[in-house]
Amino acid sequence: MRKIIIPLLIAVVLGVGVALFTWFKPHRDVASEDASYNFSRGEVVELFNQHPDSATTLLLDQVVAIQGEVTGLEGADSSQLVLMDGVVGALIPNSITPEVGQTITLKGRFTNYDDLFFEIRLDQSTWK
Amino acid sequence: MKHIFTFCLVLVMGFTIQAQDKWFTRSGEISFHSSTPVEDIDAVSKTASSVLVPSTGQIQFSVGMKSFVFQRALMQEHFNENYVESDKYPKATFKGKIDDLSKVDFTTPGTYEVTVSGQLTVHGKMNPVKTNATIVVSKDGIHANASFDVTPQDYDIAIPKMVEDKIAKQITVKIKATYQPLNK
Protein backbone atom coordinates (compact mmCIF):
# COMPACT_ATOMS: atom_id res chain seq x y z
CA MET A 1 0.00 0.00 0.00
CA ARG A 2 2.80 2.34 1.03
CA LYS A 3 4.52 1.57 -2.25
CA ILE A 4 1.56 3.08 -4.11
CA ILE A 5 0.68 6.01 -1.82
CA ILE A 6 4.13 7.62 -1.64
CA PRO A 7 4.74 7.80 -5.43
CA LEU A 8 1.13 8.94 -5.89
CA LEU A 9 1.60 11.70 -3.31
CA ILE A 10 4.84 12.81 -4.98
CA ALA A 11 3.12 12.86 -8.38
CA VAL A 12 0.23 14.95 -7.02
CA VAL A 13 2.58 17.44 -5.32
CA LEU A 14 4.68 17.75 -8.50
CA GLY A 15 1.55 18.15 -10.63
CA VAL A 16 0.16 20.90 -8.40
CA GLY A 17 3.58 22.58 -8.35
CA VAL A 18 3.85 22.59 -12.14
CA ALA A 19 0.26 23.86 -12.50
CA LEU A 20 0.83 26.68 -10.00
CA PHE A 21 4.11 27.66 -11.63
CA THR A 22 2.49 27.76 -15.06
CA TRP A 23 -0.51 29.74 -13.77
CA PHE A 24 1.57 32.29 -11.89
CA LYS A 25 4.69 32.25 -14.03
CA PRO A 26 6.39 35.66 -14.03
CA HIS A 27 6.37 38.09 -16.92
CA ARG A 28 9.37 38.08 -19.23
CA ASP A 29 12.27 40.16 -17.91
CA VAL A 30 13.60 41.70 -21.11
CA ALA A 31 16.11 43.89 -19.24
CA SER A 32 18.00 40.80 -18.07
CA GLU A 33 18.12 39.20 -21.53
CA ASP A 34 20.95 39.64 -24.02
CA ALA A 35 20.03 41.16 -27.36
CA SER A 36 19.44 38.62 -30.13
CA TYR A 37 20.13 41.27 -32.77
CA ASN A 38 22.41 44.32 -32.77
CA PHE A 39 21.98 47.16 -35.24
CA SER A 40 22.96 50.74 -35.80
CA ARG A 41 19.93 53.03 -36.10
CA GLY A 42 20.58 53.50 -39.82
CA GLU A 43 20.81 49.75 -40.48
CA VAL A 44 17.55 48.85 -38.80
CA VAL A 45 15.63 51.79 -40.31
CA GLU A 46 16.89 50.80 -43.77
CA LEU A 47 15.90 47.17 -43.14
CA PHE A 48 12.31 48.22 -42.34
CA ASN A 49 12.19 50.74 -45.20
CA GLN A 50 13.10 47.98 -47.65
CA HIS A 51 11.23 44.99 -46.20
CA PRO A 52 8.79 46.00 -43.44
CA ASP A 53 6.90 42.69 -43.39
CA SER A 54 9.83 40.28 -43.40
CA ALA A 55 11.73 42.48 -40.91
CA THR A 56 8.68 42.38 -38.61
CA THR A 57 8.48 38.59 -38.90
CA LEU A 58 12.21 38.28 -38.17
CA LEU A 59 12.30 40.58 -35.15
CA LEU A 60 8.85 40.29 -33.55
CA ASP A 61 9.15 39.60 -29.81
CA GLN A 62 12.97 39.48 -30.09
CA VAL A 63 15.30 41.52 -27.90
CA VAL A 64 16.99 44.06 -30.15
CA ALA A 65 19.82 46.50 -29.38
CA ILE A 66 20.01 49.65 -31.52
CA GLN A 67 22.80 52.19 -31.37
CA GLY A 68 21.94 55.75 -32.28
CA GLU A 69 21.49 59.35 -31.24
CA VAL A 70 18.60 60.36 -29.00
CA THR A 71 16.47 62.91 -30.86
CA GLY A 72 13.70 63.36 -28.32
CA LEU A 73 11.91 62.23 -25.18
CA GLU A 74 8.17 61.94 -24.74
CA GLY A 75 5.75 60.99 -21.97
CA ALA A 76 6.62 60.35 -18.36
CA ASP A 77 6.74 57.71 -15.60
CA SER A 78 5.06 54.55 -16.85
CA SER A 79 5.20 55.49 -20.53
CA GLN A 80 8.50 57.31 -21.01
CA LEU A 81 9.56 57.11 -24.65
CA VAL A 82 13.07 57.55 -26.03
CA LEU A 83 13.11 58.68 -29.65
CA MET A 84 15.82 58.11 -32.22
CA ASP A 85 15.08 59.01 -35.81
CA GLY A 86 12.79 56.12 -36.88
CA VAL A 87 13.10 54.19 -33.61
CA VAL A 88 10.99 54.58 -30.45
CA GLY A 89 11.65 52.69 -27.23
CA ALA A 90 9.30 52.65 -24.22
CA LEU A 91 11.54 52.52 -21.15
CA ILE A 92 10.80 50.23 -18.22
CA PRO A 93 8.92 52.28 -15.55
CA ASN A 94 10.89 54.78 -13.45
CA SER A 95 14.02 54.62 -15.61
CA ILE A 96 16.60 57.36 -15.74
CA THR A 97 16.30 59.01 -19.15
CA PRO A 98 19.20 59.76 -21.51
CA GLU A 99 19.90 63.28 -22.77
CA VAL A 100 18.75 64.48 -26.17
CA GLY A 101 21.79 64.39 -28.47
CA GLN A 102 23.43 61.55 -26.53
CA THR A 103 24.52 58.47 -28.48
CA ILE A 104 23.21 55.36 -26.71
CA THR A 105 22.47 51.70 -27.21
CA LEU A 106 18.76 51.17 -26.72
CA LYS A 107 17.78 47.60 -25.90
CA GLY A 108 14.20 46.39 -25.85
CA ARG A 109 11.64 43.97 -27.18
CA PHE A 110 10.46 44.68 -30.72
CA THR A 111 6.64 44.91 -30.63
CA ASN A 112 5.66 46.37 -34.01
CA TYR A 113 6.50 48.57 -36.95
CA ASP A 114 4.33 51.63 -36.62
CA ASP A 115 3.04 52.47 -40.08
CA LEU A 116 1.57 55.82 -38.98
CA PHE A 117 5.00 57.29 -38.27
CA PHE A 118 7.15 54.61 -39.96
CA GLU A 119 8.90 53.86 -36.69
CA ILE A 120 10.31 50.74 -35.09
CA ARG A 121 8.70 50.28 -31.68
CA LEU A 122 10.38 48.62 -28.69
CA ASP A 123 9.00 48.12 -25.20
CA GLN A 124 10.57 47.20 -21.83
CA SER A 125 13.58 49.18 -23.01
CA THR A 126 16.80 49.97 -21.18
CA TRP A 127 19.78 51.98 -22.44
CA LYS A 128 23.48 52.41 -21.88
CA MET B 1 -0.43 95.92 -19.19
CA LYS B 2 -0.72 92.44 -17.69
CA HIS B 3 -4.20 92.05 -19.24
CA ILE B 4 -2.96 93.12 -22.66
CA PHE B 5 -0.16 90.54 -22.43
CA THR B 6 -2.62 87.79 -21.41
CA PHE B 7 -4.97 88.79 -24.24
CA CYS B 8 -2.11 88.60 -26.77
CA LEU B 9 -1.02 85.22 -25.39
CA VAL B 10 -4.54 83.83 -25.72
CA LEU B 11 -4.71 85.15 -29.29
CA VAL B 12 -1.37 83.56 -30.17
CA MET B 13 -2.34 80.26 -28.53
CA GLY B 14 -5.67 80.26 -30.35
CA PHE B 15 -3.87 80.85 -33.64
CA THR B 16 -1.32 78.14 -32.82
CA ILE B 17 -4.05 75.55 -32.18
CA GLN B 18 -5.83 76.50 -35.39
CA ALA B 19 -2.63 76.53 -37.42
CA GLN B 20 -1.73 72.91 -36.64
CA ASP B 21 -2.79 70.55 -39.41
CA LYS B 22 -2.23 67.36 -37.48
CA TRP B 23 -2.01 66.31 -33.85
CA PHE B 24 -0.40 63.10 -32.68
CA THR B 25 0.49 60.79 -29.83
CA ARG B 26 2.84 57.84 -29.53
CA SER B 27 1.61 56.92 -26.05
CA GLY B 28 -2.10 56.37 -26.49
CA GLU B 29 -3.60 54.05 -23.92
CA ILE B 30 -5.79 51.21 -25.16
CA SER B 31 -7.18 48.78 -22.63
CA PHE B 32 -9.70 46.00 -22.75
CA HIS B 33 -11.76 44.25 -20.16
CA SER B 34 -13.53 40.93 -20.19
CA SER B 35 -15.85 40.16 -17.31
CA THR B 36 -17.49 36.81 -16.53
CA PRO B 37 -18.65 35.27 -13.24
CA VAL B 38 -15.60 32.97 -13.45
CA GLU B 39 -12.86 35.50 -14.18
CA ASP B 40 -12.08 39.13 -15.02
CA ILE B 41 -9.37 39.74 -17.62
CA ASP B 42 -7.71 43.11 -18.20
CA ALA B 43 -4.95 44.18 -20.55
CA VAL B 44 -3.44 47.51 -21.47
CA SER B 45 -1.06 49.00 -24.02
CA LYS B 46 0.34 52.48 -23.41
CA THR B 47 2.19 52.72 -26.71
CA ALA B 48 -0.54 53.18 -29.31
CA SER B 49 0.16 55.72 -32.04
CA SER B 50 -2.57 58.01 -33.21
CA VAL B 51 -3.03 60.98 -35.53
CA LEU B 52 -5.93 63.44 -35.35
CA VAL B 53 -6.67 65.97 -38.09
CA PRO B 54 -8.91 68.68 -36.57
CA SER B 55 -9.82 70.26 -39.92
CA THR B 56 -11.37 67.04 -41.27
CA GLY B 57 -12.03 65.11 -38.05
CA GLN B 58 -10.01 62.13 -39.27
CA ILE B 59 -8.55 59.86 -36.60
CA GLN B 60 -6.17 56.94 -37.01
CA PHE B 61 -4.78 54.51 -34.44
CA SER B 62 -2.17 51.78 -34.70
CA VAL B 63 -1.12 49.50 -31.83
CA GLY B 64 1.18 46.47 -31.62
CA MET B 65 -0.67 43.43 -30.30
CA LYS B 66 2.48 42.33 -28.47
CA SER B 67 2.42 45.59 -26.51
CA PHE B 68 -0.66 44.56 -24.49
CA VAL B 69 0.26 43.66 -20.93
CA PHE B 70 -1.93 41.30 -18.87
CA GLN B 71 -1.97 40.67 -15.12
CA ARG B 72 -0.64 37.18 -15.71
CA ALA B 73 2.05 36.14 -18.17
CA LEU B 74 0.10 32.98 -19.04
CA MET B 75 -2.93 35.04 -20.13
CA GLN B 76 -0.66 37.22 -22.26
CA GLU B 77 0.85 34.14 -23.89
CA HIS B 78 -2.58 32.64 -24.67
CA PHE B 79 -3.83 35.99 -26.02
CA ASN B 80 -0.89 36.30 -28.42
CA GLU B 81 -0.54 32.68 -29.47
CA ASN B 82 -4.07 31.25 -29.43
CA TYR B 83 -6.49 34.13 -29.91
CA VAL B 84 -5.14 37.12 -31.84
CA GLU B 85 -2.19 35.25 -33.42
CA SER B 86 0.17 38.22 -33.03
CA ASP B 87 2.91 36.61 -35.11
CA LYS B 88 0.57 36.59 -38.11
CA TYR B 89 -1.32 39.81 -37.30
CA PRO B 90 1.11 42.00 -35.32
CA LYS B 91 -1.02 45.13 -35.11
CA ALA B 92 -4.55 46.46 -34.75
CA THR B 93 -5.62 49.63 -36.53
CA PHE B 94 -8.51 52.05 -36.55
CA LYS B 95 -9.29 54.52 -39.31
CA GLY B 96 -12.25 56.80 -38.82
CA LYS B 97 -13.58 60.29 -38.29
CA ILE B 98 -15.55 62.49 -35.94
CA ASP B 99 -19.08 62.40 -37.39
CA ASP B 100 -20.29 65.64 -35.83
CA LEU B 101 -17.16 67.74 -36.26
CA SER B 102 -19.12 71.01 -36.09
CA LYS B 103 -19.72 70.34 -32.37
CA VAL B 104 -15.98 70.73 -31.65
CA ASP B 105 -14.12 74.02 -31.52
CA PHE B 106 -10.48 72.98 -31.44
CA THR B 107 -9.46 76.59 -30.79
CA THR B 108 -11.48 76.95 -27.59
CA PRO B 109 -10.73 75.03 -24.41
CA GLY B 110 -13.71 72.92 -23.41
CA THR B 111 -15.28 69.48 -23.32
CA TYR B 112 -17.05 68.23 -26.41
CA GLU B 113 -19.20 65.09 -26.72
CA VAL B 114 -19.00 63.59 -30.21
CA THR B 115 -19.62 60.43 -32.19
CA VAL B 116 -16.73 58.68 -33.92
CA SER B 117 -17.16 56.04 -36.60
CA GLY B 118 -14.71 54.07 -38.65
CA GLN B 119 -13.16 50.71 -39.40
CA LEU B 120 -11.42 48.63 -36.76
CA THR B 121 -9.01 45.94 -37.96
CA VAL B 122 -7.99 43.22 -35.51
CA HIS B 123 -6.68 39.74 -36.35
CA GLY B 124 -6.67 40.76 -40.02
CA LYS B 125 -10.44 41.26 -40.01
CA MET B 126 -12.06 44.69 -40.50
CA ASN B 127 -15.40 45.73 -39.01
CA PRO B 128 -17.27 49.03 -38.68
CA VAL B 129 -17.27 50.66 -35.25
CA LYS B 130 -19.36 53.60 -34.03
CA THR B 131 -18.90 55.04 -30.56
CA ASN B 132 -19.44 58.07 -28.39
CA ALA B 133 -16.26 59.93 -27.51
CA THR B 134 -15.27 62.87 -25.36
CA ILE B 135 -12.82 65.43 -26.64
CA VAL B 136 -11.28 67.86 -24.20
CA VAL B 137 -9.41 70.82 -25.68
CA SER B 138 -7.02 72.29 -23.14
CA LYS B 139 -3.82 74.30 -23.08
CA ASP B 140 -1.73 71.13 -22.63
CA GLY B 141 -3.18 69.34 -25.65
CA ILE B 142 -6.25 67.65 -27.04
CA HIS B 143 -7.50 64.75 -24.94
CA ALA B 144 -9.74 62.04 -26.37
CA ASN B 145 -11.59 59.29 -24.51
CA ALA B 146 -13.85 56.59 -25.88
CA SER B 147 -15.24 53.22 -24.90
CA PHE B 148 -16.97 50.59 -27.00
CA ASP B 149 -17.69 46.87 -27.08
CA VAL B 150 -16.36 44.33 -29.55
CA THR B 151 -17.31 40.71 -30.14
CA PRO B 152 -14.32 38.36 -30.65
CA GLN B 153 -16.26 36.29 -33.20
CA ASP B 154 -16.63 39.38 -35.43
CA TYR B 155 -12.84 39.34 -35.77
CA ASP B 156 -12.61 35.59 -36.42
CA ILE B 157 -11.16 35.03 -32.94
CA ALA B 158 -12.27 31.58 -31.95
CA ILE B 159 -12.74 30.88 -28.24
CA PRO B 160 -12.28 27.18 -27.42
CA LYS B 161 -15.24 25.50 -25.65
CA MET B 162 -13.02 24.71 -22.66
CA VAL B 163 -12.52 28.40 -21.77
CA GLU B 164 -15.82 29.73 -23.11
CA ASP B 165 -17.12 30.59 -19.64
CA LYS B 166 -13.94 32.56 -18.81
CA ILE B 167 -14.06 34.98 -21.72
CA ALA B 168 -16.90 37.47 -22.14
CA LYS B 169 -19.00 37.48 -25.31
CA GLN B 170 -18.49 41.27 -25.44
CA ILE B 171 -15.09 42.79 -24.67
CA THR B 172 -15.03 46.43 -23.55
CA VAL B 173 -12.32 48.49 -25.23
CA LYS B 174 -11.26 51.85 -23.73
CA ILE B 175 -9.21 54.48 -25.51
CA LYS B 176 -7.38 57.37 -23.86
CA ALA B 177 -5.09 59.67 -25.83
CA THR B 178 -3.48 63.07 -25.37
CA TYR B 179 -2.51 64.71 -28.64
CA GLN B 180 0.26 67.22 -29.25
CA PRO B 181 0.79 69.26 -32.42
CA LEU B 182 2.74 67.43 -35.11
CA ASN B 183 5.49 69.75 -36.27
CA LYS B 184 6.49 68.03 -39.49
Of all residues in chain A, the percent with pLDDT exceeding 70 is 99
**What is the per-residue pLDDT for B11?**
45
pLDDT, tens digit, for every residue of B67-101? 999 999 999 999 999 999 999 999 999 999 999 99
- Local confidence band at A2 (pLDDT 50, 70, 90 cut-offs): confident
- Contact, B175 vs B61, CB < 8 A? yes
- Rounded to the nearest 10°, the torsion over CA B119, B51, B69, A124 is 150
Q: What CA–CA distance (Å, rounded) separates A29 from B141?
A: 34
ipTM over 0.85: yes
pLDDT, tens digit, for every residue of A14-48? 888 777 777 778 899 999 999 999 999 999 999 99
The vertex-B43 CA angle with B157 and B68, nearest 5°, equals 80
Q: Determine whether the interchain pair B27/A75 forms a contact, defined as Cβ–Cβ distance below 8 Å.
A: yes
Domain A30-127 has CATH 3.40.50.2300: no
Query: pLDDT averaged over chain B?
Result: 90
**What is the per-residue pLDDT for A65?**
98
Query: pLDDT averaged over chain A?
Result: 93
Which residues from chain A sit within 8 angstroms of residue B51, using beta carbons? Answer: 116
Q: Determine whether the interchain pair A123/B76 forms a contact, defined as Cβ–Cβ distance below 8 Å.
A: no
Q: For chain A, which residues make up each domain, given as ranges?
A: 30-127
Domains of chain B, first to last = 2-181 (2.40.128.110)
Q: What CA–CA distance (Å, rounded) separates B132 from B145?
A: 9
- Contact, B116 vs B131, CB < 8 A? yes
For A89, which residue in chain B has the nearest alpha carbon? B47
**What is the per-residue pLDDT for B18?**
47
